Amino acid sequence: MAGTAVVTGASSGIGAATVRRLVKDGFDVVAVARRADRLLQVAEETGARVGCLDITDTEAVRRFAGELDTCDLLVNNAGGALGADSVATGSVDDWERMFSVNVLGTLRMTQALLPLLRDGAGGTVVTITSTAAFTAYEGGGGYSAAKAAERALSETLRLELCGEPVRVIEVAPGMVRTEEFALNRLRGDAGKAAAVYEGVDHPLTADDIAECVALAVGLPQHVNVDQLVVRPLAQAAQHRLHRGPLMNRKNEH
């Protein structure tokens, strides 16, 4: 599959890595994000087109969609977590922001581009959720709730598009180490952000997730990967994380 791809949250992390990977696969990629300077760097590096856009602005999203002639692939990647407080003490503003970007941003982009995705031999919607979408954890109530809602959106969309040539794919990563995710979540505290990954033997990278997107998208159009859950080998589940080197038991005596 190739054609025109739109990737949100494309100025860094998983979004930027996905832009690079899809350009490599021959897509005409429109990289979407708020930060024009970072976005231009990605565009200069990859040759992608730029869509400087805040996906929490409904009218701006509609104008953006109206400027496109075609769209064969939408990657809903923009999102993130804010805060690690309990439900009892969590900030309502943080919860609102997480829902506005993760859930409603995905809804706005999907609604705006769905006519173009339906108009052709076949379109694909990929949404990057999280393993937090189906396993809650202490301090992650807002993020888990937002990602669960995003997952429900994807599952519902797949049902509603049954019979049409549009694939709906969810990629749900576990621990991914990027330059900004934990730092943003923990209010810029570099020490706390580093501690999240401390001792973990090879957390996933943004490039790993981009490879998963490319794998799912690159399958024949009649093949739909409903949900692809991907974790580092050191993370067996949301609450089962090994810190320290991965050991070869064969060599133990």
Active site residues: 143
Residue 154 C-alpha from the chain's centroid: 13
113 touches 6 (CB < 8 A): yes
Q: Which of 40, 99, 80, 84 is nearest to 178 (CA)?
A: 80
What is d(CA 223, CA 2) in angstroms, rounded to the nearest whole number? 15
Supply the DSSP string of 147-208, one letter for each residue.
HHHHHHHHHHHHHHTTTSSEEEEEEEE--B--SSHHHHHTTT-HHHHHHHHTTBSS-B-HHH
